[in-house]
Chains A and B, each alone.
Chain A
Amino acid sequence: MTDATTRFFDDLDQQGYQPLLAKVSGALRFDLHEGPQTMHWLVRIDRGNIQVSREDMEADTVIGTSPALFDDLVTGHENGLTALLRGDMTVTGDARLVVQMERIFAGPPDARGPQRYRKGMQ
């Protein structure tokens, strides 16, 4: 069920550097709550250099969601800001970190993107 989440963090850790986060430094902790259980992911960013661990440690920003919603967020089926406004995702601490982090989540998988006009095709 959290395959997508695990894959996302594993990829992030292996990348080691994410240019979209080049101006970002700080630690984010993702608390994925399911019943009595909470899974933790800790992402430390130092000017784009990224380390991921499963530690439950203090962080500048703490994000709380269900594991299912987080799967949807990282795969682009859900959007971070709307989840926050709906109350389905909670954020405490430095909001700028989550705004930056959210930008590296995938876009909607069915997005077509800009379409070139070709004469006679429309």
Chain B
Amino acid sequence: MPPSHTVRILDGNNFVVCEATGDIEATPTEPTGLFSIDTRFLSKWVLTVNGERLNSLSYDDLQYYESRFFLVPGLATHYVDAKLSIIRERAVGKSFREHITILNHDEKAVDLDIRMDAGCDFADLFEVKDEILNKKGEIYSEVEPDRLRLGYRRGNFRRETIISSSEPARFDRNGFAYSIHLEPNEQWDTAIDVQTMALSPSGRDLRLGLRVHGAERLNLQQDLEEWIAKAPKVNSEHEELAATYRKCIVDLAALRFAPLSLGGQNIPAAGLPWFMTMFGRDSILTCLQTLPFTPELSATTLRILGALQGTRFDDFREEDPGRILHEMRYGESAAFEEQPHSPYYGSVDATPLFVVLLDEYEQWSGDVALVKELEQECRRAFRWIDDYADLVGNGYIWYERRNTESGLENQCWKDSWDSISYRDGTLPPFPRATCEVQGYAYDAKMRGARLAREFWDDPAYADQLEREAAALKERFNRDWWVEDGGYYALALDRDGRQCDVLSSNIGHLLWSGIVDDDRAEQIADHLVGPRLFTGWGVRTLAEGEVRYNPIGYHNGTVWPFDSSFCAWGLRRYGFSEEAAVIASGILDAAWYFDGRLPEAFGGYPREQTKFPVEYPTACSPQAWSTGAPLLLLRTMLGLEPHEGHLAVAPRLPIGMGRIEVLDIPGRWGRVDAFARGRLDLNSVGG
């Protein structure tokens, strides 16, 4: 288990982050709370008995949406008076519910004052790591006989937390209390309900008026069981691998998110706790990783992103016609345009990846109807790639933010400010173009050509896309190849100068197919070589580069999702042993995290640390980290749709033993895949 004393439960974008006692006392460094629609609805939630704080004996995450805490009075000392136990059981769904049970183990009767301090700062998710000093609206607290109403008002913007109790409680502005008498061995219970409200001026919740399409997840337990039953089964001689797989399937269930305005359809959100929302890039890449296992996520993701494709120019949101969105948020900062997430479009990879996912999804599912439904969206995406994204006019996708206040400087997956550099460590001017995005554009055009020829009845368009793709590949191999390194540059600056550092991005190039065949081996050697490969996975930036730092967010850490695409790319070019090296490294690492890979971990050499060092503020579970073991399974088993069938070509390391994947869904119905570890990896890498 990663060292963490915070407990998280969630359902969609309703979630709770709390201490091991179940208490919430939010500070900028410990941003705990009850959250919904990107807003904090409880920042204080502290239970005391006779004025004393409680001490945690243990807690269980029962399911992703419920947890249970066993507590005793008094702070942790060498002696814990265990004459009283307190059990807090809680679940998030449409509301937050907490059931408190108090048991008297004493031979004497006791009189107890039970109190819950409750309060809320109604922080926007973007404020929770800062000191919240000057909210522009007014915070209020209203006591009613049977409930406490905590609220925040700014113009017509109103958010309220409404707290009620099954047992009569004395409510005051700062919480509520009970006075109880317990005979020996007697127990007392109360159920507390916390509603989160986003109120329109008429007093209705703005979400309630919206008709929800499709099945609502009323019974979370039943829904989870159905989700697990529908996914393929993985059995393995190595119990760790099967356990990791099961953990991923449950975490994917937890990460499903139904956007506010699109009627109950689920897409994968990016990650808990701070990214429980729709991200174009994260949602698409997660769908690509999980297609063989949970294909239904892909169809809804494509529909929703298509429905929100850009239609006009908006510099604040960086919207252009045809552009696929980057991030959607519903909090106060989005509502008052202090942040651009309504939605924000500042990403250059989501648009080509949208087409890539549609093609990959069709190959697996045979869902021709969706390919036809999204034809215009694909054509608009290509127009964006060719016209609006080519800021230098030389046939590449570039970026330079137009929202200089709150837009992203780097609009590729490595989106931190210092992720793109020259070999001397300096940062290039804008616009910039990163290599993997050119690969995605190449792949999108090749795949788009197939869709145009087979489904859109437009062979001329197919030919055109193929010609453009071929020209791009030729241009790319000329302009981006770093002669003295034998790899592709991370990026080009606006004058064509190479950011000539060695980075994990070259693995994405293999996946896209843009790499010239005679150069693939050099790329493969780098990916499993000592500068990039740690023994666990591929460093984002190679050891030896000026900006390399084993815990640099995009400058040296290992991102499991990134490594999984590198492995897929290696397999595509026939380097199945190298792919297996990376796959086994990441799957080994997964076991150190209890089957739940974090967003990133340190880029230290495996032999130095012996275990993967978690990146300090990594989100977990993170959708594309959750997807990584699934993509690696696909890669090792060589699962490929081929002329309407599922081809299986396993290349497993010896240590993996036997693996079977049962009931893989697709256009073939459901089929099974079996594999045995036969590869000796000792000859590879180093």
Contacts and interface: CB of A to CB of B under 8 A. Distances in A.
Nearest to B373: A23
Interface stretch (B108-116, B284-292, B314-322, B517-525): B314-322
A107 B313 contact: yes
Contacts of A110: 315
Nearest to B319: A107
B342 A79 contact: yes
B312 A87 contact: no
Nearest to B261: A95
A85 B209 contact: no
Contact of A117 (B261, B313, B392): B392
A12 interface: no
User: In the complex, which range does the number of interface residues on chain B fall in?
Assistant: 35 or more
Contact of A88 (B156, B204, B209, B393): B156
Interface string A70-86: 00000010010110111
Contact of A90 (B200, B312, B343, B398): B200
Contacts of B262: 95-96, 99
Contact of B307 (A76, A84, A99): A99
A86 B157 contact: yes
A91 B334 CA distance: 18
Contact of A94 (B211, B312, B336): B211
Give the interface size bracket for A toward B: 35 or more
Nearest to A23: B373
Interface in B247-280: 260-263
A104 B402 CA distance: 22
A87 B199 contact: yes
Contact of A104 (B211, B311, B315, B376): B311
Interface string B179-222: 00000000000000000001111101010011101000000000
A72 to B, nearest CB: 13
A64 B358 CA distance: 36
A91 B210 contact: yes
User: Main SS of chain B's interface residues?
Assistant: loop
Given A19-B376, A94-B211, A119-B495, A111 B202 contact: no
Most chain A beta carbons < 10 A, residue from B200, B373, B495: B200
Contacts of A36: none
Interface string B349-379: 0000000000000000000000001001000
B400 A115 contact: yes
Contacts of A90: 200-202, 204, 206, 209
A16 interface: no
B658 interface: no
Nearest to A20: B311
A77 B591 CA distance: 52
Contacts of A108: 313-316
A91 B206 contact: yes
A86 B311 CA distance: 23
A59 interface: no
A79 B209 contact: no
Contacts of B389: 114
Contact of B312 (A76, A91, A114, A117): A76
Nearest to B315: A111
Q: Which of A19, A76, A106, A111 has most B Cβ within 10 Å?
A: A111
Contact of A99 (B157, B308, B402): B308
Interface string B295-307: 0000000000001
B388 A114 contact: yes
A22 B206 contact: no
A98 B262 CA distance: 10
Contacts of A100: 307
B336 A81 contact: no
A94 B262 CA distance: 9
B156 A86 contact: yes
Nearest to A113: B313
Nearest to B262: A96
B397 to A, nearest CB: 11
B155 A87 contact: yes
A103 interface: yes
Contact of B320 (A20, A113, A122): A113
Contacts of B312: 76, 105-107, 111
B138 interface: no
A98 B263 CA distance: 12
Given A108-B314, A117-B392, A96 B263 contact: yes
Contacts of A87: 155-158, 199-201, 206
Contacts of B200: 87, 90
B494 interface: yes
B167 interface: no
Contacts of A84: 206, 261
A99 to B, nearest CB: 5
Interface string B127-165: 000000000000000000000000000011110000000
Nearest to B323: A114
B513 interface: no
Given A22-B376, A90-B202, 5 more contacts: A82-B336, A86-B336, A87-B157, A87-B199, A91-B210
13 contacts: A76-B312, A82-B334, A86-B335, A87-B201, A90-B209, A94-B211, A103-B311, A111-B313, A111-B314, A112-B313, A114-B389, A115-B402, A117-B494
